[in-house]
Amino acid sequence: MSTLFIGDIHLSVEYPEITKNFFRFLKTEATQAESLYILGDLFDKWIGDDDPHPFYREVAAELFSLKKKGIPCYFIHGNRDFLIGQYFADESGMILLPEYKVIQLYDYKIGILHGDTLCTKDTEYQIFRKIARHRFIRRFFLCLPLSFRFYIAKKLRLQSGEKNKKKVEEIMDVDPQSLRDLMSCHDVDLIIHGHTHRPAIHNIEMIVTPLLSSKKIAWRAVLSAWHNEGSMIKVTFDALELIFFPFLVPDFGKI
């Protein structure tokens, strides 16, 4: 048996080919797993559980099919869908997890998260993240009319895209020291995350006892974004794999 990890799917009405392939994944690979973990940015944007668009009801129904098959689906919020609440979680059958979670899986002690909190060199983003996720700000935003929330979300995405073009690539990637500190704090063998869209499995040399120079090897597995193909990290008793699979429908772009 295996456990699957995915993230950065960025589901949106504007990109139906991604949605179709995600649904195919739920009906095929996901049904063969013991459990599925979605590590944030399931949606390209989320303005509240009260958004009545039928697209979200369809996604919820497809996700709920896993629960009916007895396959648990866990979810960690991403930077684009951190407003997903308990209502949608219940509707989709997903189990909400905190922004960082340590799980014991087979012989691994694994830390899972979306990944944006590790990009600590991007101080501008970290300040915005702290403000946007403040309980008062979230409640205020969710009280606004849906049309206004949609406008704000669209405006913020455009501004973020423009700012990111001007940032050095290193700033938007994981800070190595922040990663080591997190892994040492929780004594994990493996970190799995997304957000950076830089898929790879990295070996990390960890110092266990500084005075004796004792070291061990740990791993960081990074998910890919579902832009032109799907991807997942598959963990079994004896393997850790980053797997890509092609989209089975043509990429028609935006409609």
pLDDT, position 255: 40
pLDDT, position 44: 95
* 42-51, 145-154, 211-220: least confidently modelled range: 211-220
pLDDT class for 147, splitting at 50, 70, 90? Answer: very high
pLDDT at 181 over 80: yes
Find the mean pLDDT for residues 131-159: 94
pLDDT, position 250: 57
Burial class (CB in 10 A: 0-12, 13-18, 19+), 108: middle
pLDDT class for 87, splitting at 50, 70, 90? Answer: very high
pLDDT, position 254: 45
Residue 4 has φ and ψ, to the nearest 5°, of -110, 145
pLDDT at 71 over 90: yes
